[in-house]
Structure 1
């Protein structure tokens, strides 16, 4: 997958932010957010972004207690790739965000991630 090719979905990992804070952030970037259902620490929402309905799943405590996954299950987002979303989320949530370094193409290193924090972007190895 090339650097400017649109990812089919967007997933970021947010450090040390509550479900309530992440939900407020979603309400800031979506014109509408509805909670569909939840099961334990997995929360399903539908958001409307630029007139497009986007399924969103939030999974709390996915890697230790610090990390929450936010998955936008659509290519109809304002971000071309995960890193674009990570940069915006890091600014607006004022915390560290991580996302996969590539678009999950066969042969990619699954432990290679982007770490975005305070305007800095660094490629790291992140192993569970």
Structure 2
């Protein structure tokens, strides 16, 4: 079994911020109002008494993808893939995340693509 990731980051395909907010509010019970600067939106939520800063960055890989970064290891998920699987179901879209926690020697373009309950390894090279 792989070790827990120090933070959680997923990439969400073509989903309105309102839908992501609704999922986060349902999952965590509350979500602080987004603070926006251009395509970068920051907020915070609370999980088991711990405040978790989050950042949503639009158009990170082409126009279709946005990054959602939970800046904590105190989340309901041990690894990015756990979060990606939950988000893919909740948001009914494709979610991608890095295969491993960025260790020396890892293939930097190897990602999980999660959609409709299936996780598949893909090589994702952004233009």
Runs of 4+ residues over 3 Å off in structure 1 = none
Q: Does the 8 Å contact 1:19/1:60 carry over to 2?
A: no
Quick one: distance in 2 between partners of 1:39 and 1:91? 29
Q: Tell me, yes or no, if structure 1 residue 68 matches structure 2 residue 66.
A: yes
CA RMSD of aligned residues (A): 1.1
Structure 1 unaligned segments of length 5 or more: list them: none
Task: Give the Å deviation of 1:50.
Answer: 2.4
Quick one: distance in 1 between partners of 2:87 and 2:60? 18
Quick one: distance in 1 between partners of 2:3 and 2:33? 30
Q: Tell me, yes or no, if structure 1 residue 126 matches structure 2 residue 110.
A: no
Task: Give the Å deviation of 1:26.
Answer: 1.1
Structure 2 unaligned segments of length 5 or more: list them: none
Q: Please say which of residues 26-35 and 98-107 is displaced more in the overlay.
A: 26-35
* Aligned partner of residue 34 in structure 1, secondary structure: coil
Q: What TM-score do you get using the length of structure 1 for normalisation? A: 0.94
Quick one: distance in 1 between partners of 2:92 and 2:49? 27
* Aligned partner of residue 35 in structure 2, secondary structure: strand
Q: Spell out the pairing of 1:3-42 with structure 2 (5 A cutoff).
A: 3-35=1-33, 37-42=35-40
